[in-house]
Amino acid sequence: MSLTQLNAPKFDFKDYRSLSNEQLSQRIRAVKQNLGDSLQILGHHYQQDEVIEHSDLRGDSLQLSQLAAERDCEAIVFCGVHFMAETADIVSNSPQRLEDRNGQRVTVMLPDMRAGCSMADMAAIGQVEDAWADLGEVIDTEDITPVTYINSAASLKAFCGKNGGIVCTSSNAEKVLQWAFAQRKRVLFFPDQHLGRNTSLKMGITDDQMCVWNPHAQAMGGNERSVLENSKVILWQGHCSVHQMFKPEHVAAFRKQHEGIQILVHPECPREVNDIADVSGSTGKIIQTVQNAPAGTKWAIGTELHLVNRLKKEHPEQEIHFLSPVVCMCATMYRIDLAHLCWTLENYAAGSPVNVIRVDEKTQEWSLVALDRMLALS
Ligand code: 13P
Ligand code: SF4
């Protein structure tokens, strides 16, 4: 559970709505200049251009959690979504880091508290605990490593920490699953069924060794006992509403119309798309793949729209298309705008921090166990 400190903001958000982007940017730069390195703005690659421009550090989920764990600063403003800010709070305020700083906490802020993740919301801690208890009636839970995608609430990470499990991101899912299978013979993977399935298939785990757990089913996640008994990987029935919009017919249309085009997708895309793509990888890998390609390479990219548009701008020497004919953008990432960023920074600078993300102590302790297991592998 995250605790939000309730401070009366010194500045009211409504006064920021009418400011132009230029005015907001100027004021953001002024706060950054005054506070120097004591304040770090972290930005995920899916952020809008005008926001990411102000970030000190940008990255994918894994890179940002590593950066938050390493950085020495007094405050982090996280331009991303809620679970990312929670992770930053957990790792930057670990007992070890607190001791290094003589007990001084890093204040982590999320410019807009409505910036959540619909996938993370598809697995609630009560549902996961119920699933674990139900599974225990059919198979020995001592045989299961729970693995949570980093796109999940801190309480799920804590569940994994307590139960011998681990966190993964889209950059290290294969390494994490190898670790998980080195501990126990089965995995319960939540909340993204697609990342879990795509990674398992890549590792040679077959369809008949996987099943899907529907948390809304009447019993046993909608599975027969025999199916669960034979499963190596139990996939939670969750998905990313952005990446699930990419379809095999989009891939076929690009291949038909653009000879030599390569399809580059994020592993949150459904299997039908992931299987036929030329390259699949995290946002970090997508960026690297484009950066390393020779001029003239043609790509159709299946990931969040803002990142694809940025790649188009930054690589005019290549031909880059968005894989879907419809707009697939992350509406919650988009909630972070210059007005919210400026409002957050100015309140922090005035000594009245807003939207502080603070994970309670017990949850932090156990989620750190699961996060540290992951960070040790990366
Ligand atoms: P990565 O940053 O690991 O590529 O994940 C993408 C995503 O959906 C972030 O929410
Ligand atoms: Fe969540 Fe998908 Fe948005 Fe990532 S892109 S924050 S997984 S909804």
For 193-236, the pLDDT digits (tens) are: 999 999 999 999 999 999 999 999 999 999 999 999 999 999 99
Give the CA distances from residue 234 to residues 29, 137, 203, in Å, rounded to whole numbers and listed in that order: 47, 15, 15
Question: Which atom belonging to ligand 2 lies closest to the Cα atom of 119?
Answer: 1
Q: Residue 378's pLDDT is what?
A: 75
Give this prediction's pTM: 0.96
pLDDT at 274 over 60: yes
Q: Is the preceding peptide bond at 270 cis, omega within 30 degrees of 0?
A: no
C-alpha torsion 291→296→298→303, nearest 10: 30
Q: Which CATH class is domain 3-115+333-359?
A: alpha beta
Q: What is the pLDDT of residues 24-71, one digit of tens each?
A: 999 999 999 999 999 999 999 999 999 999 999 999 998 999 999 988
The domain covering 243-322 belongs, at the CATH homologous superfamily level, to NadA-like (3.40.50.10800)
pLDDT at 190 over 90: yes
Residue of 46, 65, 148 best suited for mutating to test ligand 1, as the one with most atoms within 8 Å of CB: 46
Distance of CA 324 from the midpoint of ligand 1 (Å): 18
Confidence band for 169, pLDDT divided at 50, 70 and 90? very high
Please name which ligand lies nearest the alpha carbon of 82: 2
Structure tokens at 358: 């603070």
Q: Residue 71's pLDDT is what?
A: 85
Using an 8 Å Cβ cutoff, are 228 and 211 in contact? yes
The domain covering 119-241 belongs, at the CATH homologous superfamily level, to NadA-like (3.40.50.10800)
Residues of the chain with CATH 3.40.50.10800: 3-115+333-359, 119-241, 243-322
Residue of 42, 44, 307 best suited for mutating to test ligand 1, as the one with most atoms within 8 Å of CB: 44
- Output the ligand 2 site: residues, CB below 6 A: 81, 117-119, 151, 240-242, 304, 330, 332-333
Q: For residue 348, which phi and psi values (nearest 5 degrees)?
A: -60, -45
Confidence band for 304, pLDDT divided at 50, 70 and 90? very high
Amino acid at the residue 335? R
Distance of CA 36 from the midpoint of ligand 1 (Å): 28
Average pLDDT score over residue span 155-159? 98
Q: Residue 1's pLDDT is what?
A: 46
Mean pLDDT score of the chain, rounded to an integer?
A: 96
Percent of the chain with pLDDT strictly greater than 90: 96
Measured distance CA(281)–CA(303) in Å, rounded: 10
pLDDT at 164 over 50: yes
Confidence band for 6, pLDDT divided at 50, 70 and 90? low
Name which residue sits closest to atom 10 of ligand 1, judged by CA. 151
Using an 8 Å Cβ cutoff, are 175 and 257 in contact? no
From the list 169, 147, 168, the residue with the least C-alpha distance to 213 is 147
Name which residue sits closest to atom 9 of ligand 1, judged by CA. 61
Residue of 60, 81, 87, 303 best suited for mutating to test ligand 2, as the one with most atoms within 8 Å of CB: 81
Average pLDDT score over residue span 256-271? 98
